[in-house]
Structure 1
Amino acid sequence: PWHMQRCARFHHSFPSTAIEQGADLAVQSTHKVLSSLTQSSMLHMARGLVDADKVSQCLQLLQSSSPSYLLLSSLDAARAQLSENSKSFDEPVAMALETKDQLMVIPGLSVLDLSCFASDFPAIDPLRVTLSASDLHLSGYEADDILEEHQIVSELVGTQAVTFAVNLGTSRQDVQKLVQCAKHLSDKYMSANESRFSKHNYVRSPLDKFSVKLSPREAFFTKKRRVCIEDSLGEICGELICPYPPGIPVLIPGEVVTQDSLSYLINVRDQGMTISGAADGELNSIMVCNL
């Protein structure tokens, strides 16, 4: 995760930085975990590997000639905050690890850790707590809705899990409340769902079978009409439809709507997944090309 690159030099629990691992350039979204303002980030460059002047020329093509000094000063303030207190992340990391240990023993709940991966991962983000209630036959969206009723706000919701972020502003009271609400979730749904089968079919994104009739440019300039999503089978998609997470487009402009892609989109829509790119955020309809 990018935020691990931001924090790597400030706690021994984090892996070496992307630059230290051989990357030429590394983008850090400083605002996500540190204290800089939203939209502020940093671009780090390895010495001797990349032409600094070339990078500067590329940035000048993309950046405004009137930068926000509020954002720039907040980046400097975030840097100063960490440089003045080298132990800033000691407490957040300790709280996150303690919270994971407490959640792991709650019946019906599971927590993501290195043992969950088939391949050898060198490290896992210690400041992210990913919780699954699938053994309670609850999707990530259902679990998130229940926790939100108790003012527990997640960072990311998926079909099978909910991810929470621990950072410099997290208090011990915050993580204790998460554990208490997770226990309540377990107590309420363990007995209620003993005889209930999960109603969710976790289908994989249909990215292996696709057909393209128009280039994205051709599709962009082609006249379009709005159709009910259930009636879009065989039509040429006129917009980019991207469920999040994982943030990978299922349909792009010019691509034919197949049965696999249609079934997948209806499935994730009904589960409450966020859809970006589509004109209709509720995904009851989509834009298709007139041909």
Structure 2
Amino acid sequence: MPSDPRGLRADAPLLDAWLRFREDPPTPFTIPGHKQRTDLVGDVIAGDVPLYAGLDTMKLTSGVLIEAESRAARLWGADLCRFSTGGATHANQAVALAVAGEGDTVVVSRTLHRSLLLGLVLAGLTPVWVRPEVDGATGLPWGVAPETVRRALADHPEARAVFVGDPSYVGTVGDVAGLADVAHGHGVPLVVDAAWAAHFGFHPDLPQHPLQLGADVMVTSAHKTLPAWSQAALVLVRTERIDAARIDAGVEATATTSPAGAILASTDAARALLERDGEELLGGAIAATCAARDRLRSVDGLTVLEGPAVDPLKLTIVLSGTGADGNAVEQDLLAAGLPVESADRDVLVAIVSLADTAQSIEMLTDTLIQSLAIRRDPARPVVGPAVYRVEPVSAVPPRQAFFTTAEPVPLERAVGRISAELVAPYPPGIPVLAPGEQITAETLEALEHAREAGVRIAYAADPTLRTLRVTIP
């Protein structure tokens, strides 16, 4: 039978509903079609309880989802919360639809995830790109400076919102409070894709979360750093500058009409755990990660990303000074049963969450140190991911280019043409090339650099990257 090992159900209405369904299962004449029978395709469907006629009645008469979302809003200090079973991808696109209308201009950090860019396509928004500061010692991005956003808003007084991603994929944290002041001084909302920051604000050694720092919207993934099912995310909103009805409409327009109850219940359970035990659990993980950084810092040539502007639970290391190839180090980690979030020639990123233990983090650290001793070679110059150095050249609005007639052209003939597709090294899913942008020699060099570093080039229509789809003049 399903269990509630930490006794969370009394404080988590969706979790309680999921447990009650599993404890006293009905004989349903509703979807899903497996009818809770695990003898047909196996345990892969175990626990798949729908929201409709599962956690709640088909008419949602119990209101458990509304109650769970209200509890999350209170915890994060928001006026409104919506749960997503489509991850931060769905949440970002819903917010893009809500904050402005077709043809409107918005200021957008170039460190955004592809999901937000495609949200701009869906909403018909035109981006004014702002780029992050890049650290010379590591080649990795810091946050977008408030002064950079101030200049963009001064140059584009028609802008309706500011979108940034913070913290970055590698764990660096920007000046969200400064960005909020700048945006609000211009009379527009600040939207923060904080997919990697569901734990922020819940331990004194962690940065505050974006809403605490003045942001108007925070999108975060419950499944990235909290113990929720994959695809679990939240949209958290302060409504002074955001229309709550438009947020609801954006969420509903882009969400599935058959939300997975287990994802919703896990989001609620993760919220209850964070509220009750978060500081204790996060404290242990932070201490263990700090110990890992101390050990890794002693490895000759290895650079460990750290400091007050770095997430204490993101373990990012730069290998250039060791000469080791991160792809080979990753293979050693995989052989030891220790997959990491991201690995290319120069950079490894390991995600630590409150589910990790001192033992698991020590095992990762031991294996990394052993692998680096074996894989060491002459030091290389620090280059850093090329995605953070590309200067985008916007030619037409993203929506226009995305939906126009297009053709594939050989890579060598693509320079000067306008891209009809989004191409992004993945992870982290940050675009090197977006719909509506002119293809430059710098763009192609960045893509080639990523490929040579061992990064998968994702989302291109031609996965070999011999051709790119371009608009037809």
Where 1:89 maps in the other structure, the secondary structure is helix
* Contact 2:196–2:225 (Cα < 8 Å) also in 1: no
1:26 pairs with 206, 218, 223, which one?
218
Is 1:164–2:357 an aligned residue pair?
A: no
1:280 and 1:38 map into 2 onto residues whose CA distance is 28
8 Å Cα contact 1:10-1:82 kept in structure 2: yes
Matched with 1:198 is 380
Residues 55, 216 of structure 1: alpha-carbon distance in 2 compared, 3 angstrom cutoff: closer
Matching residue of 2:285: 92
Q: Which amino acid aligns with 2:302?
A: L
Task: Name which of 217, 220, 235 aligns with 2:400.
Answer: 217
Map of 2:205 onto structure 1? 13
C-alpha deviation, 1:127, in angstroms: 0.8
Aligned residues of 2:317 and 2:348 also touching (Cα < 8 A) = yes
- The 2-side partners of 1:52 and 1:59 are apart by 11
Gaps of 5+ in 1: 115-121
Report 1:100-249 matches (<5 A).
Answer: 100-114=293-307, 122-158=308-344, 160-190=346-376, 193=377, 196=378, 198=380, 204-205=386-387, 207-208=390-391, 210=393, 212=395, 217-218=400-401, 220-225=403-408, 227=410, 229-230=411-412, 232-245=414-427, 247-249=429-431
The 1:219–1:265 alpha-carbon spacing in structure 2 relative to 1, beyond 3 Å, is: same
TM-score by length of 2: 0.52
- Counterpart of 1:71 in structure 2 is 263
Gaps of 5+ in 2: 1-166, 168-193
Shift of 1:259: 2.2
Q: CA deviation at 1:54?
A: 4.3
Report the Cα distance in structure 2 between the residues aligned to 1:144 and 1:30, rounded to whole angstroms.
26
The 1:26/1:209 distance shift into structure 2, 3 A limit, reads: closer
User: Structure 1 stretch 268-277 or stretch 25-34: which is displaced more?
Assistant: 268-277
Tell me if 1:274 matches 2:456.
yes
Deviations along 1:87-126, one digit per CA (max 9) or x if unpaired, are 1222211111111111111223221112xxxxxxx54211
Matches within 5 A, 1:38-77: 38-46=230-238, 50-77=242-269
Q: Which residue among 429, 435, 440 is the counterpart of 1:258?
A: 440
1:46-90, Cα deviation, whole Å (9 max, x unpaired):
375645344334433333444332222111111222334351222
Cα deviations across residues 135-188 of structure 1 (Å, max 9, x unaligned)? 122354443344333333111235531111111332333222222222223322
Task: Give the stretch that moved more between structures: 210-219 or 259-268.
Answer: 210-219
Q: Matched residues, percent identical?
A: 28
- Contact 1:237–1:255, Cα closer than 8 Å, also in 2: yes
Work out whether residues 159 and 271 of structure 1, in 8 Å CA contact, stay in contact via their aligned partners in 2.
yes
Q: Point out the more displaced range, 76-85 or 44-53.
A: 44-53
The 2-side partners of 1:8 and 1:210 are apart by 34
1:257 aligned partner, one-letter code: I
Query: CA–CA distance in 2 between the matches of 1:81 and 1:3?
Result: 18
CA contact (8 A) 1:106 1:183 kept: yes
- Cα distance in 2, alignment partners of residues 231 and 200 from structure 1: 31
CA distance in 2, matches of 1:95, 1:215: 44
Give the structure, 1 or 2, with the largest relative contact order (CA under 8 Å, sep 6 or more).
Answer: 2
Does the 8 Å contact 1:37/1:71 carry over to 2? yes
8 Å CA contact 1:109–1:133 kept in 2: the answer is yes
Q: 1:270 to 1:199 in 2, by over 3 A?
A: farther
1:220-268, CA deviations, whole angstroms, 9 ceiling, x for partnerless residues? 43241353x3454455433221224554433334544332222222222
